[in-house]
Amino acid sequence: VIAHEPIHVLDHGFVKLIDMMGNDARIVEAARNSIAGEGVRAVSEDRGLIRYLIRNKHTTPLESVVFQFQLKMPIFVCRQHIRHRMSSTSEMSGRYGVLPEEFYVPDVEHIQLQAEQNKQGRSTKLVDRDVAISIRSAMRADAMMEFKHYQNYLGGGRDEHGIGNPEITYLRDNGGLARELARINLPLSTYTLLYWKIDLHNLFHYLKLRLDSHAQYEIRVYGEAMAQIAKQVCPIAFEAFEDFILNAVTLSAQEVALLGKLLKASRSSWENIELHDGEVNFKTKRERDEWLAKIEKLVDK
């Protein structure tokens, strides 16, 4: 039974499974749909089939598993999240309703400097703790001030914040500025709420990109929470995803050539590799044989 309790993420966010369809068995059924009179198969056979599908990118049966999540995330995270177009999103409206005063402030250990090499990332160098604490307080104060202005624009303000008292009184007496305008200066850290539907094939693609260490920490944690749920729903498919997608690497032509050269020189170290050999654990003989065939191909290049 999959818990529908929210998994808390960041300071006010969450990932909540609202509904779902399918599981590992559904993937197998979808894949075997064309085979008439197919009886109940052994679990190991189902596992082999799911692993075969994922290994060979026969991904359509994975689309038989669908998740609908409710996500509460800061707007800057949502902006990255909704780039994943092969999904369906319904977001709360800041035109229709008043946005609650909830914004993300990074924990002190996540206040990091700009990375020198990676223009899109953070440095691993530690920031002086007192400096980080001050930055965190300043970020909170900035966001609180923007929300005070928002209240004033909406006509519910009391103090002079951004606009003068006559304007506050005017807006209060006239029902406030349109909500679609009042919100426009709110910070990107403001939390928003989504209903988000995605099938397992596209969720795996999302997770491959967003669980990567190059993804921003604040979206990675949403990926981790959804991965936790997907793993409970489809443990076999998830294991195959980890083996053939998440922890797999793509090599360039130059990398293939270099690797082939190295492997040629060390044939004895790999040509008789066992199914279970130290840290290497192939799940089936077929997977070991496919690996050997790939290595032979590299060497022959």
Q: Which residue sits closest to ligand FAD, CB atoms considered?
A: 85
Q: Which is nearer to ligand FAD, 18 or 86 (CB)?
A: 86
Minimum CB distance to ligand FAD, residue 89 (Å): 11
Question: Which residues contact ligand FAD by CB under 6 A?
Answer: 83-86, 120, 202, 205, 209, 214-215
Whether the Cβ atoms of residue 185 and residue 84 lie closer than 8 Å to each other: no
Q: Is 79 a catalytic residue?
A: no
Q: Which is nearer to ligand FAD, 153 or 241 (CB)?
A: 241
Instruction: Find the catalytic residue in 210, 220, 286, 288.
Output: 210
Whether the Cβ atoms of residue 232 and residue 2 lie closer than 8 Å to each other: yes
Q: Which is nearer to ligand FAD, 147 or 204 (CB)?
A: 204
Distance from C-alpha of 194 to C-alpha of 202, rounded to nearest angstrom: 17
Q: Which is nearer to ligand FAD, 90 or 169 (CB)?
A: 90
- Count how many residues are written for the chain: 301
Whether the Cβ atoms of residue 46 and residue 239 lie closer than 8 Å to each other: no
DSSP H helix total and E strand total for the chain: 11, 7
Minimum CB distance to ligand FAD, residue 169 (Å): 44
Minimum CB distance to ligand FAD, residue 210 (Å): 6
Distance from C-alpha of 190 to C-alpha of 201, rounded to nearest angstrom: 30
Minimum CB distance to ligand FAD, residue 132 (Å): 24
The per-residue b/e assignment along 41-50, b for 16 or more CB within 10 angstroms, e otherwise, is eeeeebbbbb
Report which of 296, 284, 300, 217 is spatially closest to residue 244, judged by C-alpha positions.
284
Half-sphere exposure of 182 (CA within 13 A, CB side): 26
Report, as residue numbers or ranges, the catalytic residues: 210
